[in-house]
Amino acid sequence: MESLMLGLTAALVWGIHDFTVRRVTSAADSAALYLLVLCFGVLWILPFAAFSSGWSALTPQLTGFTILAGLVYGFGVYSLYRAFAIGPVRLVAPICGAYPLLSVGLAMVQGREITGLIWLAAVAVLGGVALVARGEGGDTQGSRRAAILWSMSAATGFFASLGMLHSAAEQAADLPVALIARLAGCLGILALVLWKSVAVRPALKVWPTLAMMAALDLGGMFAVTAAGSFDRPEFASVTSSCFGLVTVLLAWRFLAEPVRPAQWVGIAVVFAGVAVLSSQG
């Protein structure tokens, strides 16, 4: 029961985070917005991580691995911001939330047996995404394609980085790993901002919102991590992976984003498939 509630908490706060991303992407460039979110994330976690007892377990190899994971995660979330800046929530959220589907491909490469239930869930996810995408208007075909590509990039970044961060956290304390990863992501996005000469000042106008987004992102991550201390921690992974459904519902209710009946069906199919894939992982 505790794992289930923690997973639902993570889904809720991550869903609110992604909904807020959609609302602020018009304020400034995605890189500038995410740079400030990462900086606030470092400030939120620094007082707790500084006094953590897990620093002694960080070897040079593990530190380097964590830095790489942070860069990958930073790229994934930047892709999420780009996707929400281009496409509607009803299209972006199901694709970004479908990253457990990539575990099927990894299992195939590793030679593991894929059950019929997993194949059915994978087909459901792909079919549901296709149904949502086909429901978009033809006059936005170019932006729709770009939004899909950025969403797929975000899903790939989430899949790779979360696996890497969980592996690192098994060898050292969560807080030092989280701090190093966010510092690495911050430096990576800062390099992107400098390379593209992105103006950061417009993003400063919405800094209270960005600070809240950083807290929501951290809260979801630690909720899923904390589930490892209770029975059936996989329940947290299953429920938290449906955070995109929360985002879609919020956008439909508060941003008045229209969702056709066929798209509702596709969205439901996607997240049902994601739940099955997460439970089988």
Q: How confident is the model at residue 280 (pLDDT cuts 50, 70, 90)?
A: low
Give the C-alpha separation, 92 to 152, whole Å. 9
Q: For residue 271, what pLDDT is reported?
A: 79
Name the residue type at position 26.
Answer: S
Listed in sequence order, the residues at least 6 apart from 216 whose beta carbon sits closer than 8 Å to its beta carbon are: 13, 14, 16, 17, 20
Residue with the two structure tokens 């377990």: 57
Q: For residue 142, what pLDDT is reported?
A: 62
Cα 34 to the center of its chain, rounded Å: 13
Listed in sequence order, the residues at least 6 apart from 229 whose beta carbon sits closer than 8 Å to its beta carbon are: none
Cα 126 to the center of its chain, rounded Å: 18
Q: For residue 37, what pLDDT is reported?
A: 95
**Residue of 34, 62, 50, 5 lying closest to 157 (CA atoms):** 34
High-pLDDT (> 70) share of the chain, %: 88
Q: What is the pTM of this model?
A: 0.85
Give the C-alpha separation, 132 to 7, whole Å. 25
Task: Give the residue extent of every domain in the chain.
Answer: 2-280
**Residue of 263, 8, 29 lying closest to 128 (CA atoms):** 263
Q: For residue 39, what pLDDT is reported?
A: 95
Residue 77's SS3 state is: helix
Give the C-alpha separation, 91 to 137, whole Å. 12
For residue 199, CA distances in Å to 13, 31, 190, 237, 250 come to: 28, 9, 11, 37, 29
Name the residue type at position 103.
Answer: S
Q: Tens digits of per-residue pLDDT, 42-94?
A: 999 999 888 887 788 888 999 999 999 999 999 999 999 999 998 888 888 88
- Tokens describing residue 161: 């980085």
Rg (CA), the chain: 18
Q: Tens digits of per-residue pLDDT, 4-47?
A: 788 788 889 998 999 999 889 989 999 999 999 999 999 999 99
Q: How confident is the model at residue 136 (pLDDT cuts 50, 70, 90)?
A: low
Higher pLDDT, 142 or 38: 38
Q: How confident is the model at residue 1 (pLDDT cuts 50, 70, 90)?
A: low
Q: For residue 21, what pLDDT is reported?
A: 92
Q: Tens digits of per-residue pLDDT, 154-205?
A: 989 988 887 788 778 778 777 888 899 999 999 999 999 999 999 999 999 9
Give the C-alpha separation, 58 to 181, whole Å. 13
Mean pLDDT, range 139-160, rounded to an integer: 82
Q: For residue 273, what pLDDT is reported?
A: 78
Q: For residue 129, what pLDDT is reported?
A: 75
- Tell me how crowded residue 205 is: count the other CB atoms within 10 A of its CB: 12
Residue 139 scores a pLDDT above 50: no
Question: Residue 9, class by beta-carbon neighbours within 10 Å (0-12 exposed, 13-18 middle, 19+ buried)?
Answer: buried
Q: For residue 88, what pLDDT is reported?
A: 85
